[in-house]
Structure 1
Amino acid sequence: MKIIVSLLSALLLLIIIALGSGAYNIAATEKHWGITEKIIEWVRESSIEAHAKNLQVPALDGKELIAGGAEHYNAMCTICHLAPGMEPTELSIGLYPQAPIFHQREPITDSAKKLEHARAYFWVIKNGLKMTAMPAWGQSHDDDAIWGVVAFVLKMGKMTPEQYENFVSATKGHGHGHGEGSHGHEHEH
């Protein structure tokens, strides 16, 4: 038993020395090792599932909710997640891991999957994700605004540039408010 503990201690010390020496390249231009990526993905997905599983999803089909979500998405999300017809931005190109491009995904038609995605999207949008550049929008936006973004993102699967522009142009002139707890700032469109 002492030999196993000694070997594990020596291995841990070697790992600490290797990581502390800069041997592991943390640059965003250098991809993770395959095993590291799998572990990070497993931890991320498990955490989101555990924290989002009991969220109560409101009705997400209201026109005002979706319009508000389109406005917020257009103002806050396109720089990383892009929009239909939009070329990649300097920021989106440099992200690692890459941000999901929602309009390129297949539409979610299964109601149970849609509910599962709605919970996960809400939790991520509200709380952000460490080491991904995904901000915690819950710090500056109320739950209704976040559910609006969720409703819009769920509609984005295979959305055309014309459909996107119709959603966004329908919100012009309404202002980008944040509801209660607003910091009173506007985002540029």
Structure 2
Amino acid sequence: MSPFRKFLIHAAITLVILVGVGILGAAIVVVAGVYNVAAIYQHTWPVYEILDFALERSVSARLGGITAPALDDASLAERGFRIYRDKCVQCHGAPGVPPDDAGKGMLPLPNNLAQTAREQSAEYIYWVVANGIRMTGMPAWQFRLDKDDLWAVVAFVERLPELSPREYAEWDQKVGRR
């Protein structure tokens, strides 16, 4: 047997043993209840990083075929504001408006959507609003809002980074409760 083939066999055996030990270790952690799932504690740094990476990759892998319409129409953003105020601000807050107690008590904490709008594409935001995120409290709105309303929310979220608390309050006054 060639030295390279012998190396590959040893490497494969080592890899199988390491994977087995990893699975066994994870099973022990789960069965023993070592990982605290209480909502009063944040995830540990490694768990948070893994979940955040998985979220980013999962959403990015599913964006194909989604193309944002023109989102610069003021009436679209106003419609999005009304929906955001009624359905989103409770958890995510807004400029000068903190999340309600339910939003503050969620773990992971709901994202600051002004920051999300700076970092993510409109298509990404649309996908999350439409499909929700499992085990975060973020609901899927695609069965409660039509496609135009989903894009209206995105149009408003895209404006959040520009809004001061005073400007958000002015939107509330201007748009009102139709």
User: How does the TM-score come out when normalised to structure 1?
Assistant: 0.78
CA distance in structure 2 between the aligned counterparts of 1:87 and 1:122, rounded to whole angstroms: 23
- Name the SS for the 2:154 alignment partner: helix
Counterparts of 1:40-59 in structure 2 under 5 Å?
A: 40-59=51-70
Q: CA deviation at 1:171?
A: 3.1
Is 2:23 the partner of 1:12?
Answer: yes
* Distance change in 2, residues 1:56/1:158 (3 Å): closer
- Name the SS for the 1:24 alignment partner: coil
Which residue in 2 is equivalent to 1:178? none
Counterpart among 73, 79, 84 of residue 68 in structure 1: 79
Which residue in 2 is equivalent to 1:153? 157
Q: Which amino acid aligns with 2:100?
A: T
Runs of 4+ with >4 A deviation: none
1:134-160 Cα distance to aligned partner (Å, 9 max, x none)? 110112001100100000011011412
Structure 1 runs not aligned, ≥5 long: 175-189
User: How does the TM-score come out when normalised to structure 2?
Assistant: 0.82
Counterparts of 1:130-145 in structure 2 under 5 Å?
A: 130-145=134-149
Root-mean-square deviation over aligned CA pairs = 2.3
Structure 2 runs not aligned, ≥5 long: 1-9
Q: Which amino acid aligns with 1:13?
A: L
Q: CA deviation at 1:101?
A: 2.0
CA distance in structure 1 between the aligned counterparts of 2:176 and 2:43, rounded to whole angstroms: 41
For these two proteins, the number of residue pairs brought into alignment is: 167
Larger fraction in helix: 2
Counterparts of 1:1-189 in structure 2 under 5 Å?
A: 4=14, 5-6=16-17, 8-103=19-114, 105=115, 108=118, 117-174=121-178
| Structure with the greater alpha carbon radius of gyration | 2
* Distance change in 2, residues 1:173/1:81 (3 Å): closer
